[in-house]
């Protein structure tokens, strides 16, 4: 007999070793998330995937599925908290969507739409962060970085390199490049690396491809983030 958990009242089967997120994705149940990508080690940092398990708040991407768990996911209360987290991510960086090449392909923007976010709500931080355009084919715009560490993990776990890291605390926390000069051009990143393509926002972009797909025909112009995530359209 297969083991099951219950998500929003729906019986969901799982295998030993799967997390709640793994089981939900396999059952086509969307749990909002930004720092999770199947195939990379779970990180549990964005907190968007926080669910209630038998009354206790846990991250679905790190919590192992266990038989008998009763999980609340798509509730007004949890989605309100997720919206606040998303609003904080917007005000902590400099997100000017109309001028961003990632607009329409951006998971942060799509999650904001999904959660019904209409404004930043919190005061804007306007942090000063450096843009690194030194690399011939890649650009790193830290203004849009949400510190999800997907590029850090992809570089280490998939590319066998260690190009990125997060450094600093509080408002001075930022993505750094592991090279002698701290510049992308002097790192060993290559355009085909997974780390160069995994960014869910417009912080790491490939040069010379701007607006190849017109706005209106991009991923999230055509599908919601929930549909896209479950169909694995991204990547």
Which residues here bind ligand SF4, judged by CB under 6 A? 95-97, 100, 102-103, 106, 108-109, 144-151, 175, 198-199, 201-204
Q: Which is nearer to ligand SF4, 68 or 123 (CB)?
A: 123
Kindly list the strands in the beta sheet with 204-206, ordered across the sheet, starting from the edge strand earlier in the chain.
131-132, 138-141, 204-206
Q: Which is nearer to ligand SF4, 65 or 148 (CB)?
A: 148
Please name the residues in contact with 215: beta carbons below 8 A apart, sequence gap of 6 or more: 103, 104, 221
Q: Which is nearer to ligand SF4, 22 or 143 (CB)?
A: 143
Q: Which is nearer to ligand SF4, 58 or 150 (CB)?
A: 150
Shortest Å distance, C-beta 199 to ligand SF4: 3
Shortest Å distance, C-beta 204 to ligand SF4: 5
The C-alpha atoms of residue 146 and residue 144 are separated, in whole angstroms, by 6
DSSP element (H, E) containing 82: helix 76-92
Shortest Å distance, C-beta 11 to ligand SF4: 34
Rg (CA), the chain: 18
The C-alpha atoms of residue 128 and residue 125 are separated, in whole angstroms, by 9
Instruction: Please check whether residue 187 is in contact with residue 201, taking contact to mean a CB–CB distance below 8 angstroms.
Output: no
Shortest Å distance, C-beta 47 to ligand SF4: 15
Q: Which is nearer to ligand SF4, 20 or 203 (CB)?
A: 203
Cα–Cα distances (Å) from 124 to 45, 120, 162, 163, 178, in that order, read: 21, 8, 32, 30, 29
Q: 7 — phi, psi (to 5°)?
A: -115, 120
Shortest Å distance, C-beta 195 to ligand SF4: 8
Q: Which is nearer to ligand SF4, 189 or 203 (CB)?
A: 203
Q: Which is nearer to ligand SF4, 21 or 112 (CB)?
A: 112
Shortest Å distance, C-beta 67 to ligand SF4: 34
Shortest Å distance, C-beta 110 to ligand SF4: 9
The C-alpha atoms of residue 125 and residue 53 are separated, in whole angstroms, by 34
Picking from 127, 123, 119, 124, the residue whose alpha carbon sits closest to that of residue 147 is: 127
């Amino acid at each position: 007999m297969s083991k099951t958990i219950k998500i929003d009242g729906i019986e969901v089967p799982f295998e030993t070793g799967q997390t709640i997120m793994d089981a939900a994705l396999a059952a086509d149940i969307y749990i909002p998330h930004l720092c999770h990508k199947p195939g990379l080690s779970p990180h549990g940092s964005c907190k968007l995937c926080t669910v209630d398990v038998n009354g206790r708040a846990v991250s679905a991407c790190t919590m192992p599925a266990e038989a008998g768990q009763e999980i609340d996911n798509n509730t007004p209360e949890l989605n309100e908290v997720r919206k606040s987290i998303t609003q904080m991510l917007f005000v902590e960086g400099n997100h000017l969507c109309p001028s961003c090449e990632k607009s329409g392909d951006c998971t942060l923007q799509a999650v904001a739409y999904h959660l019904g976010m209409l404004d930043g709500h919190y005061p804007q931080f306007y942090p000063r962060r450096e843009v690194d355009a030194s690399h011939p084919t890649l650009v790193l715009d830290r203004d849009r970085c949400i510190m999800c560490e997907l590029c850090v993990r992809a570089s280490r776990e998939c590319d066998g390199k260690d190009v990125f890291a997060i450094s600093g605390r509080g408002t001075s926390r930022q993505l750094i490049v592991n090279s002698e000069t701290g510049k992308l051009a002097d790192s060993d990143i290559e355009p085909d690396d997974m780390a160069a393509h995994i960014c869910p926002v417009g912080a790491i972009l490939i040069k010379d491809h701007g607006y190849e797909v017109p706005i209106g025909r991009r991923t999230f112009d055509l599908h919601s983030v929930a549909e896209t995530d479950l169909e694995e359209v991204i990547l």
